[in-house]
Amino acid sequence: MRITCCFLGMCITLRGTYKVTSNIEVGYGRSDITLEALLPAYNHVIIEFKQGENLEQLKEDALQQIIDNQYYTGLSGEVVCVGIAHNKKRCSIAYKIISL
């Protein structure tokens, strides 16, 4: 949860370009961070975090959670779904762009 809060704090600088929300119920669950594009030139971004030692598996699990729980419900256009796995100073990222 700590990394989510730090990352969310950094995303606040995107206000005006994105509507930044965290832990809001959408689809079949609650996404860690959603960046809803306010301008048509930008893609929406949904980010899910997982913490643990198996970074390769956890990043894929995080990405799959976004898709399975349809955290993109209510958005239109392109959505960048991002799964981030972290463990201490190590980090790994998986992403998928979907069109709605």
| Mean of pLDDT values over 70-86 | 97
Task: Check if the beta carbon of residue 33 is closer than 8 Å to that of residue 22.
Answer: yes
CB 7 within 8 A of CB 51: no
pLDDT in tens, 46-68: 999 999 999 999 999 999 999 99
Domain boundaries, the chain: 2-25+48-99
HSE at residue 58, side-chain half, CA atoms within 13 A, is 15
Average pLDDT of the segment spanning 30-47: 95
What value does the mean pLDDT take over residues 11-15? Answer: 84
**What is the pTM assigned to this prediction?**
0.91
- Which of residues 21 and 3 earns the better pLDDT score? 21
